[in-house]
């Protein structure tokens, strides 16, 4: 959430620069130097530092890891081990007769490959709608022999690569033959099972009825450099546009019912506007088919390829993709035991348990100091009330504060109250699983505002010496209470103290705090 704080600092710097521009005591050269200094310090230097960290990161971490699957096939193939080991030796250009696996570029809700199997769509869905009863086409999140497809020239019967190979190019019309069942990828004017606004995608089964195959697809190479671009393994991002209906092959992301083995739905999207990752596919595994006989082709699908092709991505390409994935990929949107809402954070109505000792019940929690937490919230509310009061009185030309004190008060609010709002309010608009730790940046700004409000009350609202003395005593009592709460809750923060069930129960100040108490 540092981006919100960064934008806040940029805003404050922009306002300050605007005032400098209006200061006639400064020469044009001096103003220009101020502007350049702020641009370098707040724009150039942070960007260079940020990019440099990722350069070091990507240089040192060049091997495959357990979470590579959220990245594109090209990114994975650039890492040592993992996909690079699987794809080593694959031909670069996809040709007619090529055997390929097609991975969705979306990666959401999970990475998956275009897939088919012998099962057909049910004749009637649970909601009463009918289907074509054709062979199911899905997106399967595991590598499987049923993920293999053969790229076929519609004008020829051959399913093997010619010599020399004829590469497939942008805007070529192709057919996709399912490798294990030899049925053609098809779509038609039948509603998809879970997305009735889109068309069903299937592998065509000839039932000798008046429903001919519609199996022609036009290849659209999205990241092409020219209209003569060839279809490349790993590197090309492609869309399949249905010739008859102009529908685009798309991963809807919905999980099919049990009859679809809980695999992901694939549809023909006719209402697509613009480019969406869910309509983009990449060839991940590729080999040149050499046999026209089905039994021999099935053996080919399990055999390694021969030719080695280098697929090194530039740093800029890997950096750009990594930033996009960081912004868009969400690992899990489901409810978590310790998830919470932004409203829970303000009242400290939640906690997070991180660790529990197997024998002593010592444990570590993310749990705030209730005195500091409540005081910070009270300080924010009091700042807002005092600011409104001062503004109303200034409107009546009543100046409660000297001008320099008023400017410091406003600046403190812009930084502290503004920082709290910028780091807290956006979470109300986010559709993701949230936790208490998301509130910590906003809380830091609230705590910074606390001494500002204390100073304001002590210096400007407490008029008499008696009032100041009483307020000083109140501050000392508040500080003592905060220290006492810290000492009491310390075992739950550091996890270095064995705790009995009765002690744990005593530390459970709110029912919503998930203190881990063993029942013997």
Q: How confident is the model at residue 295 (pLDDT cuts 50, 70, 90)?
A: low
Domain boundary among 60, 75, 97: 60
Asked if residue 116 and residue 213 are part of one domain, the reply reads: yes
Q: What is the pLDDT of residue 206?
A: 86
pTM given for the model? 0.61
For the chain, the farthest-separated pair of C-alpha atoms sits apart, in whole angstroms, at 101
Considering the domain boundaries, does residue 335 fall inside one?
no
Distance CA 177, CA 29 (A): 70
Considering the domain boundaries, does residue 247 fall inside one?
yes
Asked if residue 48 and residue 21 are part of one domain, the reply reads: yes
pLDDT of 374 > 50? The answer is yes
Q: Nearest 5°: phi and psi at 504?
A: -65, -40
User: pLDDT per residue over 456-493, tens digit each?
Assistant: 998 888 888 999 999 999 999 999 999 999 999 999 99
Asked if residue 294 and residue 374 are part of one domain, the reply reads: no
Considering the domain boundaries, does residue 515 fall inside one?
no
Considering the domain boundaries, does residue 319 fall inside one?
yes
The b/e string for 6-21 (b: 16+ C-beta within 10 A; e otherwise) is eebeeebeeeebeeee
Q: What is the mean pLDDT of the chain?
A: 88
Secondary structure (DSSP) of 109-175 = SS--EEEEEEEE--SB-TTS-B---PEEEEEESS--GGGEEEEE-TT----S--SS--B-BTT-EEE
State the average pLDDT over residues 42-51. 94
Asked if residue 405 and residue 374 are part of one domain, the reply reads: yes
Q: Are 195 and 166 in contact (CB under 8 A)?
A: no
Q: Nearest 5°: phi and psi at 423?
A: -95, -5
Asked if residue 315 and residue 294 are part of one domain, the reply reads: no
Q: What is the pLDDT of residue 339?
A: 87
Asked if residue 490 and residue 471 are part of one domain, the reply reads: yes
Helix, strand, or coil here: 497? coil
Asked if residue 314 and residue 210 are part of one domain, the reply reads: no
Q: Are 405 and 460 in contact (CB under 8 A)?
A: yes
Asked if residue 205 and residue 159 are part of one domain, the reply reads: yes
User: pLDDT per residue over 168-186, tens digit each?
Assistant: 999 999 999 999 999 999 9
Considering the domain boundaries, does residue 212 fall inside one?
yes
Asked if residue 319 and residue 272 are part of one domain, the reply reads: no
The set of residues, in sequence order, having a beta carbon less than 8 Å from that of 375 and lying 6+ positions away, is 450, 478, 482
Q: What is the pLDDT of residue 365?
A: 92
Q: What is the dihedral of CA 412, 414, 419, 424, to 10 degrees?
A: 120
Q: How far is CA 35 from CA 6, 20, 43, in A?
A: 17, 9, 11
Angle at 199 between CA 197 and CA 200, to 5 degrees: 125
Q: Where are the alpha helices (DSSP H) in 457-515?
A: 465-494, 501-507
Q: How confident is the model at residue 370 (pLDDT cuts 50, 70, 90)?
A: very high
Owner of token pair 């407490």: 462
Considering the domain boundaries, does residue 512 fall inside one?
no
Going by C-alpha positions, the residue among 349, 369, 373, 367 that lies closest to residue 486 is 369
Asked if residue 142 and residue 107 are part of one domain, the reply reads: yes
Number of domains into which the chain is organized = 4
Q: Identify the bridge partners of residue 277 per DSSP, sorted by sequence position.
A: none
Considering the domain boundaries, does residue 412 fall inside one?
yes
Going by C-alpha positions, the residue among 179, 187, 184, 202 that lies closest to residue 286 is 179
State the average pLDDT over residues 278-283. 93
CA 249 to chain centre: 23
Considering the domain boundaries, does residue 336 fall inside one?
no
**366 CB-contact burial (10 Å; exposed 0-12 / middle 13-18 / buried 19+):** middle
Asked if residue 36 and residue 80 are part of one domain, the reply reads: no
Distance CA 249, CA 22 (A): 57
Cβ of 259: how many Cβ atoms within 10 Å? 14
Q: What CATH number corresponds to the domain at position 208?
A: 2.80.10.50
Asked if residue 501 and residue 439 are part of one domain, the reply reads: yes
Domain of residue 123, residue span: 89-307
Percent of the chain with pLDDT over 90: 53
pLDDT of 218 > 60? The answer is yes
First to last CA, the chain: 42
Q: How far is CA 171 from CA 168, 219, 226, 474, in A?
A: 9, 5, 11, 77
């Amino acid at each position: 959430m540092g981006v919100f704080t960064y934008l806040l600092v940029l805003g404050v710097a922009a306002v300050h620069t605007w005032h400098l521009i209006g200061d006639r005591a400064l020469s044009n050269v001096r103003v220009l130097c101020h502007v350049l200094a702020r641009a370098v310090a707040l724009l150039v230097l942070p960007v260079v530092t940020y990019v440099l960290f990722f350069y070091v990161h990507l240089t040192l971490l060049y091997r495959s890891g357990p979470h590579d699957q959220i990245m594109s096939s090209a990114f994975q193939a650039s890492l040592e081990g993992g996909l690079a080991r699987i794809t080593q030796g694959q031909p670069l250009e996809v040709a007619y007769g090529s055997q390929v696996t097609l991975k969705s570029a979306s990666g959401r809700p999970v990475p998956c490959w275009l897939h088919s199997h012998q099962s057909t769509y049910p004749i009637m869905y649970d909601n009463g709608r009918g289907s074509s009863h054709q062979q199911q086409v899905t997106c399967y999140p595991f590598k499987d022999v049923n993920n293999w497809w053969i790229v076929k020239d519609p004008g020829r019967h051959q399913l093997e690569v010619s010599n020399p190979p004829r590469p497939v190019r942008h805007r070529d019309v192709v057919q996709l033959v399912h490798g294990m069942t030899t049925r053609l990828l098809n779509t038609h004017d039948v509603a998809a099972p879970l997305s009735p606004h889109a068309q069903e995608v299937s592998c065509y089964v000839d039932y000798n009825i008046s429903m001919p195959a519609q199996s022609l697809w036009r290849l659209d190479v999205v990241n092409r450099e020219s209209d003569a671009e060839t279809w490349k393994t790993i590197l090309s991002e492609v869309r399949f546009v249905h010739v008859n209906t102009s529908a685009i092959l798309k991963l809807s992301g919905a999980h099919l019912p049990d009859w679809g083995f809980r695999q992901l739905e694939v549809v023909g999207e006719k209402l697509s506007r613009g480019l969406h990752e869910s309509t983009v596919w990449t060839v991940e595994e590729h080999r040149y088919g050499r046999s026209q006989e089905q039994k021999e082709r099935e053996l080919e699908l399990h055999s390694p390829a021969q030719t080695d092709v280098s697929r090194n991505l530039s740093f800029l390409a890997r950096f750009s993709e990594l930033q996009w994935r960081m912004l868009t990929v969400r690992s899990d949107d489901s409810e978590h035991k310790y998830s919470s809402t932004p409203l829970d954070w303000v009242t400290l109505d939640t906690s997070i348990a991180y660790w529990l000792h197997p024998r002593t019940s010592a444990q570590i929690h993310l749990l705030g100091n209730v005195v500091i937490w409540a005081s910070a919230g009270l300080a924010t509310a009091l700042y807002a009330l005092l600011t409104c009061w001062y503004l109303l009185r200034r409107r009546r030309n009543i100046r409660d504060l000297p001008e320099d004190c008023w400017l410091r008060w406003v600046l403190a609010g812009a930084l502290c109250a503004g920082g709290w709002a910028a780091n807290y309010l956006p979470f109300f608009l986010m559709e993701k699983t949230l936790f208490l730790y998301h509130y910590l940046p906003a809380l830091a700004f609230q705590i910074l505002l606390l001494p500002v409000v204390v100073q304001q009350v002590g210096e400007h609202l407490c008029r008499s010496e008696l009032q100041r003395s009483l307020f000083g005593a109140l501050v000392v009592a508040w500080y003592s209470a905060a220290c006492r709460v810290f000492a009491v809750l310390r075992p739950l923060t550091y996890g270095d103290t064995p705790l009995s069930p009765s002690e744990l129960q005593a530390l459970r100040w709110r029912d919503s705090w998930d203190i881990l108490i063993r029942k013997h």
